[in-house]
Structure 1
Amino acid sequence: MLKQLKKNPIPLIAGAGLCAFLAGAMVSAPEIGKSLGQWLKHGNNSPEQISETSKAKSAVYPLVSQSLPERAAKLAEIAQNPRSADRERARYLLASDYIERTQAKKALVLLEGLEKDYPLLAPYILLKQAQAQDLLGEDGKASDLRQKVLKQYPKTAAAVKAIYLIAQPKQQNLAIAQFPSHPLTWEIIRKRLQENPNQPQLQLILAKYAANQPGTVGVLDDLAKGFTLKPEDWEIIATAYWTNNVFDKAADAYAKAPKTPLNLYRTGRGLQVSGKNREKAIATYKQLVQQFPEAQESGTALLRLAEMAKTRQDALPYLNQAIAKFPDAASKALVEKAKIFQGLKDNKSAQQAWQLLISKYSNSDEAAEYRWKIAQEKATAKDYAGAWQWAEPITTNNPTSILAPRAGFWVGKWATLLGKQQEAKTAYEYVISQFPYSYYAWRSAAILGLNVGNFNTVRQLKPEVVPPQRPVPTAGSETFKELYLLGQDRDAWLQWETEFQNKDKPTVAEQFTEGLMQLARGENKLGIDTISKLEDRETPEEQAEYQALSKQSIYWQARYPFPYLQEIEKWSTQRQLNPLLVTALIRQESRFEPKVKSIANATGLMQVLPSTAKWIAPQIKVDSKTINLEDPNDNIMLGTWYLDHTHQQYNNNSLLAIASYNAGPGNVSKWLQTIPTQDPDEFVEKIPFDETKNYVRQVLGNYWNYLRLYNPEISALVGQYSATHPKLPTQ
Structure 2
Amino acid sequence: MKNARFALIALFVVSSCFTRPGEDGIRSALGFHHSPEQVIKTLESADKSSREHFMLAVAYGKKDNRKKALFHFANSCFSSHYDLNLKLFPGPVYSFVTGFRFKSDYYNDAVAEIAEIFFNFREFEYSVKFADLVRKDDPGLYRDAILLKSRALSELNRHEDAMKTLADLADDLDDPGSRSLIKVRTASLYEKKSETAEALKAYLDALKIKDSGWQSGIAVKNSLKIAEKSGEAFSAEDALLLGKAAFNNALFSESADMLKKALTELKEESARADAVHFLIRAYVKGTKIPEADSAVQQYRGAKLPESDLQKTKANELWNSRNKTAAVAVYQGLVDKLTGAAHQEVLKRLAQHMAEKQPAGFEKYIIEYKTKYSEDPQCDFLLWMLGKSAMKRKDQAAATAYFEEGAAKYPQGIYTDNMRFWLYKIYEGAGKKAEKDKKFRELVVIHPDSAYTWTLMHRKQGEFSADSLSADFKAGLQQDDREAYLFAHTMLVILQKDFAERDRRAKSLPSRDLAEYTKLEKSVEKLTLSSSYKNQLLRLKKYFEAGYSDGITRELNMIPDDKEAQYDKNVVLAHFGSRYAHPYHGIFSTLELMKHHGISESFALMPLSTLRRICPVDFLECIDKTAGEFKIDRNMILAVIKAESLFNPRAVSPAGAEGLMQLMPATAKGVARELKMQEYELKDPCTSIRFGTHHLAWLDKMFKGNFDYMVSGYNAGSGNVRVWQRDISTEDADYFAEFIPFQETRYYIFNTRKFLYQYLIINK
Q: What SS does structure 2 have at the residue aligned with 1:409?
A: helix
Preserved contact between residue 306 and residue 315 of structure 1 (Cα < 8 Å): no
RMSD value, Cα: 6.1
Aligned-partner Cα distance in 1 for 2:191–2:752: 48
Aligned to 1:24: none
CA–CA distance in structure 2, aligned partners of residues 134 and 374 of structure 1: 63
CA distance in 1, matches of 2:240, 2:611: 36
Shift of 1:681: 0.5
Please report how far the alpha carbon of residue 408 of structure 1 lies from its aligned counterpart in structure 2 after TM superposition: 1.9
- Please give the per-residue CA displacement for 1:385-436, whole angstroms capped at 9, x wherever unaligned: 4422211232454567653321121111112122223432332343344344
CA distance in 2, matches of 1:246, 1:513: 37
Residue among 248, 258, 271 paired with 2:283: 271
Q: Identify which of 302, 322, 326 aligns with 2:337.
A: 322
Deviation at 1:259, TM superposition (A): 2.3
**Would the aligned equivalents of 1:586 and 1:592 in 2 still touch at CA under 8 Å?**
no
- Bigger Rg over Cα: 2
In 1, distance between residues paired with 2:531 and 2:331? 48
Q: 1:681 to 1:311 in 2, by over 3 A?
A: closer
Whether the 8 Å contact between 1:250 and 1:267 is mirrored in structure 2 is yes
Q: Deviations along 1:317-364, whole A, 9 cap, x unmatched? A: 62123245636426427749999xx99x9x8xx987655422221244
User: Is the alpha carbon distance of 1:157 and 1:686 closer, same or farther for their aligned partners in structure 2, counting shifts above 3 Å?
Assistant: closer
1:207–1:143 CA distance, 2 compared to 1 (3 A): closer
CA distance in 2, matches of 1:567, 1:285: 64
The correspondence for 1:439, drawn from 423, 429, 450, is 450
- Could you report, residue by residue, the CA deviation over 1:205-232 in whole angstroms, capped at 9, with x for unpaired residues? 6657787766864553333354344556
CA deviation digits over 1:668-723, x for unaligned, max 9?
Answer: 34543553443210121333xx22x5314225415636976xx69679x9xxxxxx
Residues 1:173 and 2:163 aligned together: yes
| 2:757 equivalent to 1:695 | no
In the alignment, the residues of structure 1 paired with residue 273 and residue 732 of structure 2 have an alpha-carbon distance, to the nearest angstrom, of 49
Q: Which amino acid aligns with 1:579?
A: I
Question: Judging changes above 3 Å, is the alpha-carbon distance between structure 1 residues 637 and 109 closer, same or farther for their aligned structure 2 residues?
Answer: closer
Q: Which residue of 2 aligns with 1:484?
A: 539
Q: Give the Cα–Cα distance (whole angstroms) in 2 for the partners of residues 263 and 65 of structure 1.
A: 54
Q: How big is the shift at 1:655?
A: 0.6
Distance change >3 Å, CA 305–CA 213, structure 1 → 2: closer
| Residue 619 (structure 1) aligned with residue 673 (structure 2) | yes
> 1:379: Cα distance to partner?
3.3
SS of alignment partner, residue 386 of structure 2: helix
Return the alpha-carbon distance in structure 1 between the equivalents of residues 435 and 203 of structure 2.
62
- Matched residue type, 1:200: L
Q: Tell me the residue number matched to 1:643.
A: 695
What residue in structure 1 maps to residue 108 of structure 2?
127
1:103-145 C-alpha deviation (Å, 9 max, x unpaired): 8668524699xxxxxxxx999877368579999x9x9999878
SS of corresponding position for 2:78: helix
Equivalent residue in structure 1 for 2:424, among 403, 413, 419: 413
For residues 646 and 207 of structure 1, do their structure 2 counterparts lie closer, same or farther at Cα, with a shift above 3 Å needed?
A: farther
Among 674, 681, 684, the residue aligned to 2:736? 684
Could you tell me the TM-score, scaled by structure 2's length? 0.57
Say if 2:111 and 2:134, in contact at 8 Å, map to a contact too.
no
Structure 1 residue 642: Cα displacement: 0.9
CA contact (8 A) 2:644 2:650 kept: no
Are the equivalent residues in 2 in contact too, given 1:337–1:353 (CA < 8 A)? no
Equivalent residue, structure 1, for 2:707: 655
Amino acid at match of 2:336: Q
* Partner secondary structure for residue 410 of structure 1: helix
Q: State how far apart, in whole Å, the 1-side matches of 2:611 and 2:339 are.
A: 42
Structure-2 change in CA distance of 1:312 and 1:124 (3 Å): closer
Does 1:160 pair with 2:130? Answer: no
> SS of the counterpart of 1:358?
helix
CA distance in 2, matches of 1:309, 1:475: 46
1:583 matches 2:640: yes
Alignment check: 8 A CA contact 1:269 1:281 kept: no
Tell me, in whole angstroms, the C-alpha distance in 2 between the residues paired with 1:278 and 1:558: 54
- For residues 471 and 703 of structure 1, the distance between their equivalents in structure 2, rounded to whole angstroms, comes to 33
Distance 2:352 2:664 in 1: 48
Q: Does 1:424 align with 2:435?
A: yes
Q: Deviation of residue 641 (structure 1)?
A: 0.6
- 2:78 pairs with 98, 105, 108, which one? 108
In structure 2, the partner of 1:46 is none
8 Å contact from structure 1 (residues 242, 250) kept in 2: yes
Q: CA deviation at 1:367?
A: 3.9
Q: Which amino acid aligns with 1:221?
A: K
Letter in 2 for 1:626: E
Whether the 8 Å contact between 1:595 and 1:605 is mirrored in structure 2 is no
* Equivalent pair of 1:271/1:281 in contact (CA under 8 Å): no
CA 1:351–1:232: 2 relative to 1, 3 Å? same
Return the offset for 1:478: 1.8
The 1-side partners of 2:683 and 2:76 are apart by 34
Aligned equivalent of 1:223:
223
Name the TM-score, length of structure 1 as normaliser. Answer: 0.59
Q: How does 1:181-580 map to 2 (within 5 A)?
A: 181-182=177-178, 185=182, 192=189, 199-204=199-204, 217=217, 219-227=219-227, 228-230=233-235, 233=238, 237-238=242-243, 240-247=245-252, 249-250=254-255, 256=262, 259=271, 264-281=276-293, 283-284=295-296, 290-291=302-303, 300-301=311-312, 304=315, 318-324=333-339, 326=341, 328-329=343-344, 331-332=346-347, 335=350, 355-364=366-375, 367-380=378-391, 382-395=393-406, 397-398=408-409, 402-449=413-460, 477-487=532-542, 490=549, 493-498=552-557, 500=559, 506-508=560-562, 548=596, 571=625, 574-575=628-629, 576-577=631-632, 578-580=635-637
**Which runs of no fewer than 5 residues in structure 1 stay unpaired?**
1-60, 72-92, 113-120, 452-461, 501-505, 522-526, 536-543, 718-731
- Where structure 2 has 5 or more consecutive residues not aligned to the other structure, the ranges are 1-20, 32-47, 57-71, 83-101, 119-123, 155-159, 228-232, 264-269, 463-495, 499-519, 577-582
Matched letter for residue 127 of structure 1 = N
Count the aligned residue pairs: 575
Rounded to whole Å, the distance in 2 between the matches of 1:203 and 1:557 is 49
Aligned residues of 2:283 and 2:289 also touching (Cα < 8 A): yes
Q: CA deviation at 1:645?
A: 1.2
Superposed displacement of residue 547, structure 1: 5.7
Q: Separation in 1 of the partners of 2:336 and 2:533? A: 50
Q: 1:205 to 1:314 in 2, by over 3 A?
A: closer
Change in 2 beyond 3 A, CA 1:448/1:484: farther
- CA shift in 2, pair 1:663/1:314, >3 Å: closer
SS at match of 1:108: coil
Q: Does structure 2 conserve the Cα–Cα contact (< 8 Å) formed by 1:265 and 1:288?
A: no
Q: Which amino acid aligns with 1:444?
A: L
Which one scores higher on RCO, CA 8 angstroms, separation ≥ 6? Answer: 1
Cα 1:294–1:126 change in 2 (3 A) is: farther
Q: What secondary structure does 1:259 align onto? A: helix
